[in-house]
Amino acid sequence: MVLYCLGLEGTAHSFGAGIVTDEGKVLSNEWDMLKPAEGGIHPREASRHHSDLGPRIIHTALEKAGINYSDIDLIAFSRGPGLGPCLRTTATMARTLALKLDIPLVDVNHCVAHIEIGCLESEFKDPVTVYVSGGNTQVIAFAGGRFRTFGETLDIAIGNMLDVLGRKLGMSFPAGHNIEKLAKEGSNYHNLPYSVKGMDLSYSGMLTAAKKLLSEGVPIPDICFSVQETAFSMLAEIAERAIAHTKKEQLLLTGGVARNNRLTEILEGVSERHGAKFHRVSPSLAGDQGAMIAWNGILQFKAGRTIEISDSQVLPKWRTDEQDILWRS
């Protein structure tokens, strides 16, 4: 008999609901992203967005999957890491449904879910994962029963850097796509701080320097070009360090920034140099969405881990390496 898992994602600006079977079939994957009229994301506004739109999104996910509430076998939710108010709103919906439908609840780590949905799609068994989004820049690999962060940003995430820069350049949020488009028209490279520290990196200096280029009258396409080339070279280097260090033979690119074609091209080059296979998670599964939570819920449920409602408080600072990965060995 097929198991159906409803996964709810709501760690930051997006709310998503996805239905996935225990055979790894994604039946539906609905989401909506809060797009503030101006400025960044306010946690309270994002959580209101989730509570306003959540029920409808869940309903649509069920409709598109062609199943009823009574068909759902388990509920998985993003327990962390993320913004407290958003996590709490999402967890409340998950708990309510679990109680109402009298089915098990599974708590999922958002970062781990990004990796596992990528592994499902690529059929990779044990990759080095480059996870790049508005809130995260991490290089993660499995070692000793857990996913461990080999490298990450020491200050701001790459997506955050691109969005803030985009705002300065007069682009709407999220800015990644526009920056990529304009970068193709740029050709003059301007030096920007290249800041790699071991397997960690830092983007705040680059942001400051790029803003300075703007004030000096450097054409916007050249700024976009220089920022992309420098920022992605840094990512390539830490990915490369992680591959050389772990000797793993697969490289997975995921997260919202995975949509960038230039970054993909560079990481393909890295993989080739090290004789590793490469996969970029497809756009519908790369960003924050419910299907990844649902799939991770299935994996965890099959490994025998569910959570009682009374123990299910959210974990805004849940580290990737704090969870024993029971379904891998």
* Binding site residues, other proteins, CB under 8 A: 81, 111, 135-136, 141, 143-144, 146, 148-155, 157, 189, 194, 196-200, 229-230, 233, 236-237, 240-241, 243-245, 265-266, 268-270, 272-274, 317-321
Phi, psi of 137 (to 5 degrees): -140, 100
CA angle 63, 120, 266 (to 5 degrees): 115
Full strand arrangement of the beta sheet holding 4-9: 26-33, 14-21, 4-9, 74-80, 105-109
* Cα dihedral sign, 233-234-239-241: positive
Residue 198 Cβ, how far from other proteins at the closest point, in Å?
A: 4
Q: Which residue's CB is nearer to other proteins, number 62 or number 234? A: 234
Q: Across-strand partners of 201?
A: 153, 196
Nearer to other proteins, 45 or 152 (CB): 152
Between CA 245 and CA 237 the distance in angstroms is 12
Q: Nearer Cβ to other proteins, position 139 or 169? A: 139
Q: Nearer Cβ to other proteins, position 54 or 134?
A: 134
Please report the sign of the dihedral spanned by the C-alpha atoms of residue 123, residue 124, residue 126, residue 130: negative
**Residue 109 · residue 320 · CB < 8 Å:** yes
Nearest-angstrom CA–CA distance, 45 and 65? 29
Q: Which amino acid is at 84?
A: G
Residue 161 C-beta: closest distance to other proteins, Å: 13
Q: Can you read off the two tokens belonging to residue 137?
A: 């820049």
Q: Least distance in Å: CB of 145 to other proteins?
A: 8
Cβ 266 to other proteins, closest distance in Å? 5
CB of 174 to other proteins, least distance (A): 17
Contact present, 251 and 270 (Cβ < 8 Å): yes
Residue closer to other proteins (CB basis): 29 or 228: 228
Q: Least distance (Å) from other proteins to the CB of residue 205?
A: 12
Q: How many whole angstroms separate alpha carbon 91 and alpha carbon 160? A: 25
Tokens of 140: 């993660």
The helix (run of H) or strand (run of E) holding residue 130 is: strand 128-132
Work out how close the CB of 225 gets to other proteins at its nearest, in angstroms, rounded to a whole number: 9
Residue with smaller CB distance to other proteins, 170 or 198: 198
- Nearer Cβ to other proteins (62/236): 236
60 or 204: whose CB is closer to other proteins?
A: 204
286: nearest Cα among 315, 264, 262, 271: 264
Q: Please report how close the Cβ of residue 173 comes to other proteins at its closest, in angstroms.
A: 19
